[in-house]
Amino acid sequence: MAESDKARPSLLQRNRRIARSALTVMVAFAAAKLISLVQTLIIAQVFGVGSELDAYVAANRIPELIVILISGGALTHAFIPIFSGLLAKGDLDAAWKLSSNLISTIFTLALLISAVVFLLAPWLAREVVAPGFDAATAQNTIDMMRILLLSTIIFAVSGIFSGILNSHQHFLLPALAPIMFDVGILAGVIFLLPRFGVHGIAYGAVLGAALHFSIQVPGLFRYRMRWRFKLGLSNPLLWRVIRLMLPRIGGLGVFSLNFLVMNNIASRLGVGSVSALDWGWRLMQIPQTLLGTAMGIVIFPTLAALSEMNDLTGKRDAMSGALRFILISSIPSAIGLIVLGRPLISLLERGAFDASASALVYSTLSMFTLGLIVHSALEVVARSFYADKDTLTPLFAALGGAAINFVAAFALSDARVVDGAGFINSAAEALPTVGIKREIGNVSGLALANSLGVMFEVVSLLYILRRRWHGIQEDALARTLLKTLVASLIMAAAIVIVDAMWVAAAPSSSLAHTILRLALEGAIGVVVFAIAALLLKMQEVSEMWSIVKRAPAA
């Protein structure tokens, strides 16, 4: 009893710190998404879901893949557990030597890969990323891919900066970095778009990458970072990070390959299909980033430290608490996004973005939103393995999810090749047709395939984690899941009723009318969900509110 009482304050203190840090990251991410929404509205008005935006989306696939593989999730998930362990032991010399060697090595690697991609850009654009594009759109893709490669070199170093600061439990500057990235893109949209056309967005992305890098530098000075250019190939800790990176690179490569396949198929489904796929993904990513990514970033250093101390109970508590937070926030968000999705997307209907584009994006968004919960959960579940320095198991789960995604992408898209290209047509004809048939295919089926693949990943990883950790508080998770689902469905019913009354009383579709409609129905949804949660005695909601309210100021 005494031991339990002694452990309780420590657990509450940790939960409050995690809640405060998560709130900080969420607010910063929300600001970034708000800026991103402004640029989205401008881009939608100018380009809609046409061929120019198709070219930008396709051009970004390979540079984005490079960043993800060598300096994004793969690197930080391998680097943070080792770097945090060195900090916990007080071995600052080894910690800064490792970070210095890693920065030099990753920068050199990014530079070399970017040079190769620059030379291969014509082949990559026409044969890998978007073989269905016409000649003009393909050339636009090549030009912008080469511009965006500059941002990959900058992000190669900036991503390590984020890992260093997060390992010090410093989340503010890394959370502000995405804001600066979006500010750079917004500057490109406002000031460069009129002069350079869609290429202005690419130039803005390069500016945003530079701002992403710069905003984190003051934090490194605060922790007295030491750096000099040296690859350090003789450093065993560097090779340990690399060994941990390789399976994670494979997992992220599989994830990115899925999107390349979907991009490949979408490029053959008619003009605007690639853009619609990207719009749906970007809109779903707003709540997914605010909820899943924010919690994953905050909980990861804690899980890594608990793993280093072999605290199995602490890991179970931390992971389960984070996962329950994601359930009570992502389930109502997903259902709310589906219910309010049509009027939300209609806000974009100006200029080149018309009602038909809105309908196409909504169908794609709906299928991506079905996977919002599992995408958010994966941020925490996968990091539980990385904290234990296990990057192989998530790779195997990703491969299984990729297989499901790959097969379902062909089956559910009902692809019909309009340009006579070979393998897509034969694959689509060989697989059973599912869903709505259209002459140019069903792009929303690609989004549904992605959701099914990620669902398999999360379920399989949770099963393995439950056996490995001798339980994951599954009873508490099941109760939270069931109660949240019931409260969310009650919320959805209330929104649908209010929406029907609103449309009957005031059928106007003006911008101000739609904004007022969304604000009212969103507020009612929040209130109804909160009341339902109280009636269902969902203690997680009241505990979370208590933790945030009582948390000491940062």
Spatial neighbors of 34 by CB under 8 A, at least 6 apart, are none
Per-state percent for the chain, helix, strand, coil, to nearest 5: 85, 0, 15
Q: Grade residue 551 by pLDDT with cuts at 50, 70 and 90.
A: very low
3-state SS assignment for residue 351: coil
CA-based nearest residue to 132, from 272, 267, 259: 267
pTM for the structure as a whole: 0.69
CA-based nearest residue to 381, from 421, 449, 324: 324
CA-based nearest residue to 176, from 29, 71, 282, 297: 29
Other Cβ atoms within 10 Å of 35 Cβ, number: 19
- Is pLDDT at 402 greater than 80 in this prediction? yes
Distances (CA, A) of 130 to 40, 140, 274: 22, 12, 9
In whole angstroms, give the CA distance from residue 419 to residue 35.
Answer: 38
At 464 the pLDDT is 94
Q: Grade residue 291 by pLDDT with cuts at 50, 70 and 90.
A: confident
In whole angstroms, give the CA distance from residue 70 to residue 406.
Answer: 24
CA-based nearest residue to 169, from 47, 280, 297, 317: 297
- The residue segments making up the domain with residue 68 are 2-550
In whole angstroms, give the CA distance from residue 392 to residue 395.
Answer: 5
Written as one letter, the residue type at 458 is: V
Specify the residue for token string 């707003």.
Answer: 286
Q: Which whole number is the average pLDDT over 479-508? A: 88
The predicted-structure confidence for 94-104, as pLDDT tens digits, reads as follows: 888 888 998 89
CA-based nearest residue to 247, from 41, 65, 33, 395: 395
Q: Grade residue 418 by pLDDT with cuts at 50, 70 and 90.
A: very low
In whole angstroms, give the CA distance from residue 282 to residue 488.
Answer: 23
At 493 the pLDDT is 93
The predicted-structure confidence for 156-212, as pLDDT tens digits, reads as follows: 889 888 888 988 878 788 888 888 988 898 888 888 888 888 888 899 999 999 999
In whole angstroms, give the CA distance from residue 441 to residue 415.
Answer: 5
Biggest CA-to-CA distance, the chain: 74
Q: What is the mean pLDDT of the chain?
A: 80
At 349 the pLDDT is 61
User: Taking a C-beta distance cutoff of 8 angstroms, is the pair 168, 161 a contact?
Assistant: no
Specify the residue for token string 């989340």.
Answer: 171
Specify the residue for token string 């990458």.
Answer: 209
Under the phi-then-psi rule, with left for phi > 0, alpha for psi from -120 to 50, and beta for the rest, what region is 256? alpha
Q: Grade residue 414 by pLDDT with cuts at 50, 70 and 90.
A: low
Distances (CA, A) of 214 to 67, 179, 219, 227: 17, 12, 10, 16
What letter does residue 170 receive in the DSSP assignment? -
In whole angstroms, give the CA distance from residue 273 to residue 364.
Answer: 10
More confident call, 231 vs 372: 372
Written as one letter, the residue type at 132 is: G
Spatial neighbors of 61 by CB under 8 A, at least 6 apart, are 129, 256, 259, 260, 263
Spatial neighbors of 516 by CB under 8 A, at least 6 apart, are none
Distances (CA, A) of 396 to 74, 76, 407, 452: 15, 19, 17, 16
Specify the residue for token string 């350090």.
Answer: 232
User: Taking a C-beta distance cutoff of 8 angstroms, is the pair 21, 301 a contact?
Assistant: no
Domain count, the chain: 1
Distances (CA, A) of 114 to 120, 125, 151, 258, 306: 10, 15, 10, 21, 38
CA-based nearest residue to 379, from 480, 297, 459: 297
Q: Which of 270-274, 388-392, 546-550 has the lowest mean pLDDT?
A: 546-550
What letter does residue 119 receive in the DSSP assignment? H
Which of 34-48, 428-442, 524-538 is modeled with the greatest confidence? 524-538
At 244 the pLDDT is 80
CA-based nearest residue to 547, from 7, 18, 169, 175: 18
User: Taking a C-beta distance cutoff of 8 angstroms, is the pair 99, 164 a contact?
Assistant: yes
At 170 the pLDDT is 81
- Is pLDDT at 518 greater than 70 in this prediction? yes
In whole angstroms, give the CA distance from residue 125 to residue 134.
Answer: 11
3-state SS assignment for residue 502: helix
User: Taking a C-beta distance cutoff of 8 angstroms, is the pair 341, 366 a contact?
Assistant: yes
